């Protein structure tokens, strides 16, 4: 009989669950990072007792409280060489289904392994926008990307995903946006007007063969500082398009703002990304290839992904478009949702039950009011989510703390950990938060530059280093940049 952690959790008393969690976590941690379990008799007896007690309670187990992501027993998850990787199968015959042609029916509960791998791929792209962002307030490049396009994935250790970055996206930094999604303490030292906001990438030949089409990816960055919650949960909706669709004013401002007097935002984020996507689609269609567009992002990035998908669907006929988002807030009203559906955009949202951000804006006035539609009318003034939802739960992982942790609940690494059944390196969860149980002895918020970015100069002084010219992303010399980009598209 296959035993899942959620079955155990739903059937045992809380005290037994806590004990089993901690013993299992410690034993797994020792096997992966230290070696075989200790021969300590007391520890072994406790583990054996818990195991015997466990089997007494699984004769007729009830349905688990969280069934979307099932967890195997910790002892079955790991081996001495480290955590296994999710399968990376050839999906060329089923890519449309995996990207939502049937709205992910029968693929989410339980989570289909091939879909899991694709979600993780795009989730890592969303995480990369954080890892590559220079948010050091003492850096003269604060607000930029730390790497150039050529070595972007390599520097982040995800070059095996099979994509090449073609274009960086910049957005205005001095615009109105919700305070609960704003970065607060950072100083605009690199550019007083603009921030690096994400990238456009395209699949190489090998990945294109595996997934069955040339995939264009747009990854949008979310926030980089602790969330600032505020009392005004209901934001202003403004029209978009030609119908009744409306979207949140702050998100739309980030996506469309520009200023001719700036260096990096003479064009808006919208214009930058759409110009690049249209060039790529035209380039590969003329070569006779099937092309798709997948847009991803976490938090604010998930909101921008929806606006990007709406514009792309309205601009490029017949292009398969899907959105894979993580912890994204609501963006628009019911008409916005309906128009995206009519355009054929497929949207899959990952939502952690304990995460507060997906409940905003419109904590009170949201899609739940649709039941009163006959009384209230069209409800073009309320917010609603879009697409299919994959529910995740912090309580389903024995590695995560149970306490209240807004930052940890919302962290992209927490999302990836829950999606991947703990096969992803669990230490990554604590990169920017404190979500892992103390028994694992993983420091919280450990991800940073070596020596916090300081290096010794020729005189032995510790200083902030100058970046190499190629590591300072800049739209200057646009014709050269575009020529270089199209050379990369060929993937010889």
In this structure, is residue 194 part of a structural domain?
yes
Residues 64 and 111 in one domain: no
> How many Å apart are CA 168 and CA 438, to the nearest integer?
38
Residue 142 near residue 134 (C-beta atoms within 8 A): yes
Half-sphere exposure of 396 (CA within 13 A, CB side): 27
Domain boundary among 26, 51, 77: 77
Look up the domain containing 73 and give its range.
5-77
């998850």: which residue's tokens?
Answer: 77
Contacts (Cβ under 8 Å, ≥6 apart) of 431: 411, 413, 445, 446, 447
Split into its structural domains, the chain has a count of 2
Whether the link from the prior residue into 451 is cis, omega within 30° of 0, is no
Q: Which residues of 334-344 are buried (b: 16+ CB within 10 A; e: fewer)?
A: bbbbbbbeeee
- CATH number, domain with residue 121: 3.40.50.1820
Residues 123 and 68 in one domain: no
Q: Write the pLDDT tens digit of every residue in 241-268.
A: 888 899 988 889 889 999 898 888 899 9
Q: What's the N-to-C CA distance of the chain in angstroms?
A: 50
In this structure, is residue 208 part of a structural domain?
yes
Residues 70 and 130 in one domain: no
Burial (CB < 10 A; 0-12, 13-18, 19+), residue 348, is buried
> How many Å apart are CA 98 and CA 112, to the nearest integer?
9
Residues 66 and 190 in one domain: no
Question: What are 217's strand-pairing partners?
Answer: 201, 294
Residues 16 and 157 in one domain: no
Domain boundary among 50, 77, 104: 77
In the numeric block, which tokens belong to residue 422?
A: 């703990």
Rounded to the nearest 5°, which phi and psi values hold at 296?
-135, 160
Residues 9 and 130 in one domain: no
Q: Which residues are catalytic?
A: 299, 355, 410
Residues 184 and 118 in one domain: yes
**How many C-beta atoms lie closer than 10 Å to residue 489's C-beta?**
16
Residues 385 and 307 in one domain: yes
Residue 247 is inside which H or E element, if any? strand 246-248
Q: Is 446 left (phi over 0), alpha (psi -120 to 50) or beta?
A: alpha
Contacts (Cβ under 8 Å, ≥6 apart) of 440: 25, 29, 399, 426, 427
Residues 24 and 131 in one domain: no
Residues 276 and 129 in one domain: yes
> How many Å apart are CA 225 and CA 219, to the nearest integer?
19
In this structure, is residue 424 part of a structural domain?
no
Going residue by residue through the chain (492 aa), what tens digit of pLDDT does each one get?
333 434 444 444 444 455 455 555 545 544 544 444 444 444 444 444 444 444 444 333 333 334 344 444 443 444 334 545 555 789 999 999 999 999 999 999 999 999 999 999 999 999 999 999 988 888 888 888 999 999 999 999 998 999 999 999 999 876 555 555 554 444 445 577 788 999 999 999 999 999 999 999 999 998 754 333 332 334 688 999 888 899 988 889 889 999 898 888 899 999 999 999 999 999 999 999 999 999 999 999 999 999 999 999 999 999 999 999 999 999 999 899 999 999 999 999 999 999 989 988 865 555 555 554 544 445 566 889 999 999 999 999 999 999 999 899 999 999 999 999 878 899 999 999 999 999 999 999 999 888 888 999 999 999 988 887 777 766 544 444 444 444 444 443
Which residue, among 471, 453, 426, 479, has the nearest Cα to 74 in the 3D structure? 426
Strand order in the sheet with 346-352: 163-172, 194-203, 214-220, 291-298, 321-326, 346-352, 388-392
Domain boundary among 22, 42, 77: 77
Question: What are 462's strand-pairing partners?
Answer: 456
In this structure, is residue 434 part of a structural domain?
no
Q: Write the pLDDT tens digit of every residue in 340-369.
A: 999 999 999 999 999 989 988 865 555 555
Distances (CA, A) of 173 to 137, 268, 269, 310, 469: 15, 11, 11, 23, 23
In this structure, is residue 422 part of a structural domain?
no
> How many Å apart are CA 121 and CA 305, to the nearest integer?
16
Residue 340 near residue 310 (C-beta atoms within 8 A): yes
Rounded to the nearest 5°, which phi and psi values hold at 389?
-125, 130
What angle, 0 to 180 degrees and rounded to 10, lies between the N-to-C axes of helices 249-256 and 300-315?
70
Residues 113 and 70 in one domain: no
In this structure, is residue 480 part of a structural domain?
yes
β-pairing verdict for 388-392 and 455-456: unpaired
Residues 21 and 104 in one domain: no
In this structure, is residue 254 part of a structural domain?
yes
In this structure, is residue 465 part of a structural domain?
yes
Distances (CA, A) of 29 to 5, 18, 46, 73, 292: 17, 16, 17, 13, 40
> How many Å apart are CA 212 and CA 289, to the nearest integer?
10
């Amino acid at each position: 009989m296959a035993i899942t952690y959620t079955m155990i959790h739903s059937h045992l008393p809380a005290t037994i669950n806590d004990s089993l969690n901690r013993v299992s976590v410690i034993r797994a941690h020792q096997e992966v990072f230290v070696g075989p379990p200790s021969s300590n008799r007391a520890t072994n007896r406790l583990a054996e007792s818990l195991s015997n007690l466990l089997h007494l309670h699984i004769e007729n187990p009830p349905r688990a409280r969280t069934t979307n992501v099932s967890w195997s027993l910790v002892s079955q998850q790991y081996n001495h060489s480290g955590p296994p990787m999710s399968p990376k199968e050839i999906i060329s015959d089923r890519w449309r289904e995996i990207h939502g042609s049937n709205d992910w029916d029968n693929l989410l509960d339980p989570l289909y392994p091939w879909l899991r791998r694709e979600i993780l791929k795009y989730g890592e792209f969303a995480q990369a926008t954080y890892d590559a962002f220079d948010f050091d307030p003492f850096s003269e490049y604060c607000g930029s990307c730390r790497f150039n396009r050529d070595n972007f994935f390599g520097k982040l250790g995800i070059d095996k995903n099979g994509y090449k970055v073609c274009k960086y996206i910049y957005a205005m930094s001095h615009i109105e946006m919700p305070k609960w999604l704003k970065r607060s303490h950072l100083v605009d030292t690199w550019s007083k007007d603009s921030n690096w906001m994400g990238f456009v990438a395209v699949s190489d030949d090998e990945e294109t063969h595996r997934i069955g089409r040339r995939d264009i990816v747009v990854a949008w960055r979310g926030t980089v500082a602790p969330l600032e919650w505020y009392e005004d949960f209901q934001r202003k909706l403004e029209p978009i398009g030609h119908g009744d669709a409306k979207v949140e004013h702050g998100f739309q401002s980030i996506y469309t703002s520009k200023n001719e007097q700036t260096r990096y935002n003479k064009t808006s984020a919208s214009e930058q990304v759409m110009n690049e996507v249209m060039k790529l689609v035209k380039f590969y269609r003329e070569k006779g290839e099937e092309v798709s567009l997948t847009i991803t992002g976490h938090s604010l990035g998930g909101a921008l992904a929806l606006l990007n998908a709406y514009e792309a669907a309205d601009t490029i006929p017949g292009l398969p478009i899907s959105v894979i988002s993580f912890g994204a807030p609501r963006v628009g009203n019911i008409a916005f949702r309906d128009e995206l559906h009519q355009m054929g955009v497929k949207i899959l949202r990952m939502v952690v039950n304990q995460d507060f951000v997906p409940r905003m804006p419109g904590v009170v006035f949201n899609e739940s009011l649709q039941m009163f539609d006959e009384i209230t009318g069209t409800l073009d003034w309320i917010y609603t989510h879009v697409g299919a939802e994959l529910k995740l739960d912090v309580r389903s992982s024995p590695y995560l703390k149970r306490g209240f942790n807004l930052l940890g609940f919302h962290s992209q690494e927490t999302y990836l950990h829950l999606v991947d059944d703990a096969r992803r390196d669990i230490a990554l969860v604590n990169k920017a938060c404190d979500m892992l149980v103390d028994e694992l002895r993983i420091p919280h918020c450990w991800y940073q530059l070596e020596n916090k970015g300081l290096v010794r100069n020729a005189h032995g002084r510790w200083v902030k280093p100058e970046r190499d010219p190629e590591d300072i992303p800049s739209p200057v010399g646009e014709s050269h940049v575009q020529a270089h980009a199209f050379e990369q598209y060929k993937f010889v």
